[in-house]
């Protein structure tokens, strides 16, 4: 088990979800060009389990927001570290991300995102 993942959770306004999805699909391809072997983003659906803290609570969603959970799979931490230095410098990323973080029409607020890199603990593919 040598894979390494970057995981993230963030809220997004429901009205911006379709627009965000179009950008995320392009971003996924860029990450894969820089070494990611898989890229996933999912929208929250069944968000409560009694006795636990939900993702909605963790990112303080508002009534008009959804929760997005995503992860990017890399073959190793070294590949991930290299991708994390190169992807932000790719000019396509600026073109895609800048409109999302425009203060006048903020679609994505990175300050509300929870993020981390994760090494393997248990992996069961069957």
Ordered by start, the domain boundaries in the chain are 4-118
Q: How far is the CA of 1 from the CAs of 39, 79, 117, 121, 125, in angstroms? A: 18, 15, 15, 8, 11
Percent of the chain exceeding pLDDT 70 equals 99
Q: How far is the CA of 13 from the CAs of 84, 95, 120, 124, in angstroms? A: 26, 21, 32, 34
The label of the residue with tokens 């090494």 reads 119
Judged against a pLDDT cut of 90, whether residue 35 lies above it is answered with yes
Section 28-50 average pLDDT: 96
pLDDT tens digits along 42-77? 999 999 899 999 999 999 999 999 999 999 999 999
pLDDT tens digits along 8-29? 999 999 999 999 999 999 999 9
The label of the residue with tokens 């627009």 reads 19
Instruction: Locate all alpha helices (DSSP H) within the chain, ordered by sequence.
Output: 17-33, 55-58, 77-86, 91-97
Q: What is the CATH number of domain 4-118?
A: 3.30.70.100
For the chain, give the mean pLDDT. Answer: 92
DSSP at 29: H
């Amino acid at each position: 088990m040598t894979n390494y993942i970057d995981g993230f959770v963030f809220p997004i306004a429901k009205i911006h979800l379709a627009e965000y999805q179009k950008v995320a699909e392009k971003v996924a391809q860029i990450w894969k060009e820089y070494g990611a072997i898989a890229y996933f983003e999912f929208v929250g659906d069944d968000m409560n389990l009694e006795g636990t803290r939900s993702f909605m609570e963790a990112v303080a969603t508002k009534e008009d927001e959804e929760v997005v959970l995503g992860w990017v799979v890399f073959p190793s931490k070294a590949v991930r570290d290299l991708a994390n230095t190169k992807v932000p410098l790719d000019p396509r990323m600026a073109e895609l991300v800048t409109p999302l973080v425009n203060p006048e029409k903020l679609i994505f607020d990175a300050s509300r995102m929870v993020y981390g890199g994760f090494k393997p603990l248990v992996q069961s593919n069957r």
